[in-house]
Chain A
Amino acid sequence: DTAVSQTPKYLVTQMGNDKSIKCEQNLGHDTMYWYKQDSKKFLKIMFSYNNKELIINETVPNRFSPKSPDKAHLNLHINSLELGDSAVYFCASSQVGLSSGEQFFGPGTRLTVL
């Protein structure tokens, strides 16, 4: 029943570790996104994939690597975690096609780096 799901919901880890966040959508959308929301609630796009192809890659450190094995999944792997990576990460999907549809967001993953 869930439209966009993310796992895990909470992630607490030490600096320097590598971690992954998984995202899946069952809406049949062709575009998926990763956003970072910092402690001030500012929402910034990180990546966007359309039909498994990377179309937007903001100025994100290359420690962040998205992977889209198929249209329904967009995972985020983070290497060598830093304190500044602590944030809530949202996955989203939308049907772009001929027009830009609204985005459906996952519940978010709260990442805390100690």
Chain B
Amino acid sequence: AQKVTQAQTEISVVEKEDVTLDCVYETRDTTYYLFWYKQPPSGELVFLIRRNSFDEQNEISGRYSWNFQKSTSSFNFTITASQVVDSAVYFCARQPPPTAGKSTFGDGTTLTVKP
């Protein structure tokens, strides 16, 4: 199986600290898609970002940034100046090309931001 590994099970930081959530994936596909989803304590799953395998440009959206490196099969997520509302479980996921197979989610990283 082509795994997605989120090595950090739990991370705890104090508000305003920067934090990076790691994601390493396995794939045999030349084309694939990577995602990050957020699951706050209320339980819903919210899409954050999607990357195509052929687009290694890093992305910044407000306090969130993503670093995609094909050479190391990593797609890390950094929150700058963390806030209590960032407390959630974050999932990294990999999807193959359409109908070519299933999406695979990492086991999630629980981030706790303390005031």
A and B associate in one complex:
yes
- Give residues in A with beta carbon < 8 Å to B: 33, 40-45, 48, 50, 55-56, 58, 88, 90, 92, 96-105, 107-108
**Total contacts A to B, CB within 8 angstroms?**
62
Assess A99 versus B39: contact at CB under 8 Å? Given A48-B102, A50-B99, A104-B47: no
- A58 adjacent to B102 (CB under 8 Å): yes
Q: How many residues of B contact A (CB 8 A)?
A: 27
Please, how many angstroms separate the alpha-carbon atoms of A55 and B108 in the complex? 25
**Among the listed stretches B18-26, B58-66, B90-98, which one makes contact with chain A, having 4 or more residues with CB under 8 Å of it?**
B90-98
Q: Are B102 and A98 in contact, CB atoms less than 8 angstroms apart? A: no
B45 in contact (CB, < 8 A): yes
Residues of A within 8 A of B110 (CB): 41
Please determine whether B97 and A100 come into contact, CB atoms closer than 8 angstroms. yes
Nearest-neighbor residue (CB-CB) of A108 within chain B:
B43
Separation of A99 and B91 alpha carbons in the complex (Å): 20
Contact of A41 with B39 at beta-carbon distance under 8 Å, contacts A50-B99, A100-B96 already known = yes
Q: Specify which of B43, B46, B89, B96 lies most central, judged by the most chain A CB atoms within 10 Å of its CB.
A: B43
Query: Is B107 close to A, CB under 8 A?
Result: yes
Q: Which residues of the partner chain B approach A45 to less than 8 Å between Cβ atoms?
A: 102-105
Can you list 5 A-B contacts with CB-CB less than 8 angstroms, sorted by A residue number?
A56-B102, A99-B52, A99-B98, A101-B50, A103-B35
Q: A41-B108, A43-B105, A96-B98 are in contact. List 12 more A-B contacts (CB 8 A).
A: A42-B107, A45-B104, A45-B105, A56-B102, A90-B45, A99-B97, A101-B50, A103-B37, A103-B45, A103-B47, A104-B47, A105-B44
